[in-house]
Amino acid sequence: MKILYIGDIMGKAGRKTVQKLLPDLLAETGADFVIAQGENLSHGKGMQLSSIADMQTAGVDFFTGGNWTTKRPEVFPMLEDAKGPVARPANYPEGTPGRRYKIAETPYGRVLIVSLLGQIVGAFPAVIDNPLQVIDAILEETKNEQLTARIVNFHGDFSSEKLVIGQYLDGRVTAVIGDHWHIPTADAMVFAGGTAHITDVGMVGSLDSCLGVKSDVIIKRWLSDQSSRNELEEGGRMQLCSLLIDTDSSTGLAKSAKQIIRYSEL
């Protein structure tokens, strides 16, 4: 089974870029199931149902979560629904809306999808539970499920955190995919134990920006030490960053992991 994982889709420009590039990417790769990081789908912060629907029409089957996933309450029922195609971070504190993990039904079998937040991610005031302990508990809880693949998304800041959890889960899950940086790393590989890994897959958004936000806004903020609103860069050169994982359904591990980056103009 081929799983395509797309990095953080940044607002309207990110959505338009997915709409432009994903059909060709699907034809080229033969991907069977598409997962995308959705926490920045709507104006760079959170997810609106209309944005989710647009991305489903474009070919995205499922969305992972990050520090903005619980920003907009309209998505809470989808987070609670076992069949809702969005997974919020599993290691949020007790009482956070939504389930800790999801199992997606695909033509090739059932796929466990878990998002975890790194413990150093900004913009979230609550204490985040230890991601290693949380994933251990989820893998134990789901050990008797018939699963064809186990996909773990690690939404974090430190490359060290993203690498360590990959090594920790090597041989136990199909893939550990880092995101949140919006900058792709050049280290896609299959670890010795058979788990696909990339430290950060990157994003879908402006190539000429600061992580998708207009550079002049960020530079002015930094120069002046004054806070300001993020304005997303919505025109010009765009990138779509992704990871293609070829899975072995008999072992639940990965046969290959290939970074794919495509460009377009809006």
**Is the Cβ–Cβ distance between 206 and 236 less than 8 Å?**
yes
Give residues 107-146 in contact with Fe ion (rule: CB under 5 A). Answer: none
Give residues 64-93 in contact with Fe ion (rule: CB under 5 A). Answer: 66-67
CB of residue 155 vs Fe ion: minimum separation in angstroms?
6
- 8/61 with CB nearer Fe ion: 8
CB of residue 239 vs Fe ion: minimum separation in angstroms?
17
- 8/234 with CB nearer Fe ion: 8
Give residues 205-244 in contact with Fe ion (rule: CB under 5 A). Answer: none
Regarding 197 and contact with Fe ion (CB under 5 A), the answer is no
CB of residue 29 vs Fe ion: minimum separation in angstroms?
25
User: Which positions from 27 to 66 touch Fe ion by CB under 5 A, shown as an x/- string?
Assistant: ---------------------------------------x
> Residue 40 corresponds to which tokens in the numbers above?
């920045």
CB of residue 180 vs Fe ion: minimum separation in angstroms?
4
**Is the Cβ–Cβ distance between 97 and 65 less than 8 Å?**
no
- 17/40 with CB nearer Fe ion: 40
Three-state SS sequence of the chain: CEEEEECEECHHHHHHHHHHHHHHHHHHHCCCEEEEECCCCCCCCCCCHHHHHHHHHHCCCEEECCCCCCCCHHHHHHHHCCCCCECCECCCCCCCCCCCCEEEEECCEEEEEEEEECCCCCCCCCCCCCHHHHHHHHHHHCCCCCCCEEEEEEECCCHHHHHHHHHHHCCCCCEEEEECCCCCCCCCEECCCCCEEECCCCEEEECCCECCECHHHHHHHHHHCCCCCCCECCCCEEEEEEEEEEEECCCCEEEEEEEEEEEEEC
CB of residue 120 vs Fe ion: minimum separation in angstroms?
12
Report how many residues bind Fe ion under the rule CB under 5 A.
3
- 129/170 with CB nearer Fe ion: 129
- 67/242 with CB nearer Fe ion: 67
User: Quick one: which of 180, 199, 240, 253 contacts Fe ion (CB under 5 A)?
Assistant: 180
CB of residue 5 vs Fe ion: minimum separation in angstroms?
15
> Residue 42 corresponds to which tokens in the numbers above?
């709507």
- 100/180 with CB nearer Fe ion: 180
CB of residue 43 vs Fe ion: minimum separation in angstroms?
14
Residues across the chain: 266
Positions in the binding site for Fe ion (CB under 5 A): 66-67, 180
